[in-house]
Amino acid sequence: MADNGDDIDAEYRIRDGDYVVLKRGDVYKAAQIQKKRKIVFEKQWFFLDNAVGQLYGTTFEIEAGGAMKPHSAKQDVSAADRDGKKAGTDNRNIVDDGKSQKLTRDDIETLKEQGLKGQEIVQQLIDNSTTFKDKTEFAQEKYIKKKKKKYDNNVTVLRPSTRILAMMYHGREPGKICHLRYDTLAQMLALGNIHAGSKVLVFETCAGLVLGAVMERMGGYGSVIQFYPGGGPTRAGMENFGFPPHFHQTLHEFPLCKVNALLAGRLEAEEGPEAAGEPQEEASSGAEVKEEAPEETQEMEVTAEGDESKEKERQERRRERKVYERKVKMEEKRKKLTATAALLEERHADGLVIASRFHPCPVLLGLLKFLAPSRPFVVYCQYREPLIECYTKLREQGGAISMRLTDSWLRQYQVLPNRTHPVLLMSGGGGYLLTGTTVATDTAKATTKQAKEEEPASKRIRLEEMDGASSNNSA
């Protein structure tokens, strides 16, 4: 660790308020660095205060009282570098009598209470195991690895990325992300051609993980429009990425329940009555509201002075302020909605990503209308049957080609000298994907082309010229 303090490493240092990922073994947990905030992770509790100023990737030892101390270089126990190592060749004389470990459960608890480090406990367990020296070299290594996993209390602080967060969610809370496995998410990002500068539509109920993954690939260039069901978008997973503020400026949102209105061109009309339905004449313009409210509050202050009904007045004032604040918020929301609607109305978005707990068919057929021709779309579903329906409907409707229904298998391997094999437990399924490319639908122009096909050659050329598509036709 070259720690020359100079600012070359500044951007690699953990700062207060940062979103980070904690790692212990193969287990991850997303957290925000907040001073004096207790974190519970893998049956341990600690404070992240000491992580501030350290470099990303640093491993910490958890000390009594929850403090973290940067873990010094390797002093780990491993079978290979144990001196005077003795090992058996097979297990013909090893008997499982349940008495090989001389330390009792209570002894181990006492060691823990004494504040012994994980390493030291593992060493104690080895020293007090009567069968350890008779185990084969491989079995010894396996024993140490298993004990280390249990007693090592080191935590590494990492910078979040799609890889880490997708693995974290899939490992810890697959239900929250519709069981979307990280290799499937990888396919979605690639097949959706997600890249900087494009305009991507996202509809997801994967806690914001898919949204975050898309935003990471866009790098703050272009725009992302998130459709959301219900009262507002879910973005906890996206927040965990800890994107810089300018990324958030490229993120827009649009309620799914207004899609039909937008497609029918009556979004504005619908906005009016709904706003009027709000108490306190929400229909008035934002400018008016802003002028009005401060005056009112000033007036309140004057009348409140020396009055015995002070409390009542104050309550009134609070209520007024609340109403005013809500008005401003509503107005802001409406403005945003109008801006997003304008982005959508052009109907030339560059990509569509769907991953939700809803039936994908109506979502796909509805949102596909906002896509430009020759753009990829990706639909994720935990189940195959709804995607079969999407495939069939889209075939009938037209406007999409190269449709593929796929799923992927992910197999992990243990690679060790003389012990290489697939990992025993593998994921049974990571969900299904329907992918395809949009094309221009048969509009008036296309139908004339269709008609052309039945016509004699000479007439066909003339029609083509009328199309205006051919300026310097050679024929």
Partner 1 sequence: MSFVEYSEVVQEDDVVIVFLGHDAMMPVHVRSGAQTQTRYGAIRHSSDLIGRRFGSKVTCSKGGWVYVLHPTPELWTLNLPHRTQILYSTDIATITLMLDLKPGAVVCESGTGSGSLSHAILRTIAPTGHLHTVEFHTERAQKAREEFGRHRVGHLVTVRNQDVCRQGFGVEGVADAVFLDIPSPWEAIQHAKAAIKRQGGRVCSFSPCIEQVQQTCAALVASGLQELLTLEVLLRVHDVRSVTLPLPDFGPEDDQHTHTHTQPAPGNALVTVKTATPPREMAGHTGYLTFATKVRE
By CB under 8 A, the residues from 219 to 238 that bind partner 1 are 219-221
| Cβ nearer to partner 1, comparing 233 with 436 | 436
Query: How would DSSP label each residue in 8-58?
Result: GGGGGB--TT-EEEEEETTEEEEEE--TT-EEEETTEEEE-GGGTTSBTT-
Could you say whether residue 1 binds partner 1 (CB under 8 A)? Answer: yes
Closest CA to 44 of 57, 58, 27: 27
Q: Which residue has the tokens 């109008």?
A: 338
Beta strands in 38-120 (DSSP E): 38-41, 44-47, 59-62, 68-70
Quote the crossing angle between the two packed helices 137-151 and 118-127, to the nearest 10°: 140
Chain centroid to CA 294: 41
Could you say whether residue 451 binds partner 1 (CB under 8 A)? Answer: no
Residues 6+ apart with CB under 8 A from 209: 165, 166, 169, 177, 180, 185, 237, 238
| Cβ nearer to partner 1, comparing 222 with 255 | 222
Could you say whether residue 471 binds partner 1 (CB under 8 A)? Answer: yes
| Footprint on residues 132-161 left by partner 1 (CB under 8 A) | 161
Could you say whether residue 300 binds partner 1 (CB under 8 A)? Answer: no
Could you say whether residue 72 binds partner 1 (CB under 8 A)? Answer: no
Could you say whether residue 187 binds partner 1 (CB under 8 A)? Answer: yes
Could you say whether residue 407 binds partner 1 (CB under 8 A)? Answer: yes
Could you say whether residue 459 binds partner 1 (CB under 8 A)? Answer: no
Could you say whether residue 409 binds partner 1 (CB under 8 A)? Answer: yes
| Cβ nearer to partner 1, comparing 83 with 454 | 454
Could you say whether residue 384 binds partner 1 (CB under 8 A)? Answer: yes
Closest CA to 220 of 241, 248, 247: 247
Q: In this chain, which of 373, 459, 462, 466 binds partner 1, going by CB under 8 A?
A: 373
- Only segment of 95-103, 116-124, 294-302, 385-393 that touches partner 1 (CB under 8 A): 385-393
Cα–Cα distance measured from residue 191 to residue 351, given in angstroms and rounded to the nearest whole number: 10
Could you say whether residue 206 binds partner 1 (CB under 8 A)? Answer: no
Give the total residue count for the chain.
475
Q: Which residue has the tokens 């107005």?
A: 331
Cα–Cα distance measured from residue 1 to residue 49, given in angstroms and rounded to the nearest whole number: 21
Could you say whether residue 392 binds partner 1 (CB under 8 A)? Answer: yes
Specify whether the CB–CB gap between 23 and 58 falls below 8 A: no
Q: How many chain residues are in contact with partner 1, going by CB under 8 A? A: 77
Could you say whether residue 195 binds partner 1 (CB under 8 A)? Answer: yes
Q: In this chain, which of 117, 147, 170, 217 binds partner 1, going by CB under 8 A?
A: 217
Q: In this chain, which of 52, 55, 103, 304 binds partner 1, going by CB under 8 A?
A: 55
Specify whether the CB–CB gap between 156 and 182 falls below 8 A: no
- What minimum distance in Å lies between the beta carbon of 221 and partner 1? 7
Cα–Cα distance measured from residue 392 to residue 44, given in angstroms and rounded to the nearest whole number: 51
Q: In this chain, which of 185, 262, 367, 381 binds partner 1, going by CB under 8 A?
A: 185
- Only segment of 229-237, 284-292, 336-344, 433-441 that touches partner 1 (CB under 8 A): 433-441
Could you say whether residue 45 binds partner 1 (CB under 8 A)? Answer: no
- Only segment of 62-70, 88-96, 253-261, 440-448 that touches partner 1 (CB under 8 A): 440-448
| Footprint on residues 229-288 left by partner 1 (CB under 8 A) | none
- What minimum distance in Å lies between the beta carbon of 73 and partner 1? 11
Cα–Cα distance measured from residue 193 to residue 200, given in angstroms and rounded to the nearest whole number: 10
Could you say whether residue 331 binds partner 1 (CB under 8 A)? Answer: no
- What minimum distance in Å lies between the beta carbon of 384 and partner 1? 6
Cα–Cα distance measured from residue 213 to residue 195, given in angstroms and rounded to the nearest whole number: 11
